[in-house]
Amino acid sequence: MHGVLRLIVTLDGEDVIDCEPILGYLHREAITVNAPEQLGNIQVPKRANYIKVIMLELSRIASHLLWLGPFMADIGAQTHFFYIFRERELIYDLFEAATERVERVGIIGGEEAINCGLSGPMLRASGIQWDLRKVDHYECYDEFDWEVQWQKEGDSLARYLVRISEMTESIKIIQLALEGIPGGPYENLEIHRFDRVKDTVWNEFDYRFFSKKPSPTFELSKQELYARVEAPKGELGIFLTGDKGVFPWRYKIRPPGFINLQILPQLVKRMKLADIMTIRGSIDIIMGEVDR
C-alpha cells in the first residue's frame, strides 16, 4: 500500500484463546469431528456430521492435489501440472462459499450514508441510486444504455455485489462506445493559448526530456469552480479558485476515500475482531487519499 493504516481497537467480550496447548493431544481432523463430543455432553446433529465429513474429504483431496502438482512437474508432465491446480481451485471455491463472512457485516443505512457524505459503491450499496454519470450528465454517458447498480442491504456483501455488477456495466459501456465512436480530432484545435506564457519555464530544456506533449495553457477566470466525476471509489471533486492566471490561486481535491473512511469507527462497533479487515476492505480506500 501507499502507507499504513493504524487502527486502535478495544475488545469487549471477545476472547482470543490459544487452543493448541489444551487440545494438543487431538489430531486436527479429530478436533473437527469429535471435539464437541469429547469436550462435553454435546449432541451434534447428524446433518453436521455429514457436512464435516464432506469438508474433511475435500480438504484431503486439495492437500493431495497440492502435492501431486509439483510431483507431476518433476517427472516431466508439465501439462498436467496446470490442470491439477485448476481442480484444486474449484475445491477452494467451495470452501469460500461455505465460509464467506461478509453478509450482515458492517451495515450502513441509506439515511446514515447520506448524512456521512458517502459516495460511490458505499452509497449505492445502501439503497441510494446516486451516480454522477447519470445525475450530472457529463461526457457522453447519456448516449449509452446502462443502469445504475445498487443494493439495499448496506452490508459488506452488498458493497461487493455493487462493484461486481458495475464492472459488467462498464464492459457494456465500453462496447457501445467502441461501436459508435465518431471520427475526427480528439482535441480542440482552436483552443487559445496565452501569448505571455509562450516561453514559460515548462518549455525550457530541463523539462523537455519528458517527451510529453504539453497541455494547452489558458486563463483561469477570477471565480470559484467545483467539478466532480463518478470515480471508481465515489465522488472525486476538484475545487478551483481562479485569479486570471495560468495556475489556480486555490486548488483543493475532494477524494472519495477520505470521506468514506470516516464511518469505519462506527461500522466496527460490536463486530468480531476478524470482521475489521472485511469491513475496511469493503470501504476500498487508497492511503494516498486518507493519509492526512
208 pLDDT higher than 90: no
Q: Is the pLDDT of residue 287 over 90?
A: no
pLDDT-derived band at 151, boundaries 50, 70, 90: very high
pLDDT of residue 29: 44
Please say whether the beta carbons of 150 and 127 come within 8 A: yes
Residues 174, 273, single domain; the answer is yes
Do 61 and 139 fall into the same domain?
Answer: no
What is the rounded CA–CA span in Å between residue 72 and residue 171? Answer: 39
Residues 42 and 163 in one domain: no
pTM of the model: 0.72
pLDDT above 70 (res 215): no
| pLDDT at residue 22, rounded to an integer | 43
Task: Report the pLDDT value the prediction gives residue 99, as an integer from 0 to 100.
Answer: 79
The β-bridge relationship of strands 234-241 and 250-254 is antiparallel
**In Å, how far are 67, 193, 240, 241, 279 from 197, measured between CA atoms?**
67, 8, 20, 20, 49
Task: Give how many domains the chain has, as a whole number.
Answer: 2
**Do 242 and 222 meet the contact criterion of CB atoms below 8 Å apart?**
yes
Amino acid of residue 158: A
Single residue among 51, 75, 98 that ends a domain in this structure: 98
Question: Which pLDDT belongs to residue 253?
Answer: 92
At 66-102, the pLDDT tens digits run 777 666 666 665 666 677 778 888 998 898 888 788 8
Predicted confidence at residue 12, as pLDDT, reads 85
Q: Which three cell numbers stand for residue 184?
A: 475526427
Per-residue model confidence (pLDDT) at position 23: 42
pLDDT at 27: 45
Whether residues 160 and 52 share a domain: the answer is no
**Residue 18: its pLDDT value, please?**
45
Three-class DSSP labels, the chain: CCCCCCCCCCCCCCCCCCCCCCCCCCCHHHHHHHHHHHHCCCCCCHHHHHHHHHHHHHHHHHHHHHHHHHHHHHCCCHHHHHHHHHHHHHHHHHHHHHCCCCCCCCCCCHHHHHHCCCCCHHHHCCCCCCCHHHHCCCCCHHHCCCCCCCCCCCCHHHHHHHHHHHHHHHHHHHHHHHHHCCCCCCCCCCCCCCCCCCCCHHHCHHHHCCCCCCCCCCCECCCEEEEEEEECCEEEEEEEECCCECCCCEEEEECHHHHHHHHHHHHCCCCCCCHHHHHHHHHCCCHHHHCC
Q: Is the domain of 146 the same as that of 251? A: yes
Between residues 4 and 232, which one has the greater pLDDT?
232
In-domain check, residue 202: no
What confidence category does residue 159 fall into, taking pLDDT thresholds of 50, 70 and 90?
Answer: very high
Please report whether residue 227 resides in a domain.
Answer: yes
pLDDT given for residue 183 in this prediction: 92
Same domain assignment for residues 228 and 273: yes
| pLDDT, tens digit, 9 for 90 and up, residues 5-46 | 888 888 887 654 444 444 444 444 444 445 555 555 678 899
Residue 162: which pLDDT band, with cuts at 50, 70 and 90? very high
240 within 8 A of 225, measured Cβ to Cβ: yes
Q: Give 236 or 200, the one with higher predicted confidence.
A: 236
Q: What is the pLDDT of residue 184?
A: 87
Distance CA 167, CA 154 (A): 19
Residue 123: the pLDDT is 97
Residue 267, domain extent: 110-180+215-290
pLDDT band at 168 (very low <50, low <70, confident <90, very high): very high
Q: What is the pLDDT of residue 38?
A: 55
Let me know whether 148 and 227 are in one domain.
Answer: yes
Nearest CA-CA partner of 12 in 256, 269, 263: 269
pLDDT tens digits along 195-205:
445 555 655 65
Integer Cα distance of 118 and 128 in angstroms? 10
Three cell numbers, residue 156: 459488506
One-letter amino acid of 168: T
Q: Tell me, yes or no, whether 115 and 257 share the same domain.
A: yes
Q: What is the pLDDT of residue 72?
A: 65
Same-domain status, 170 and 232 = yes
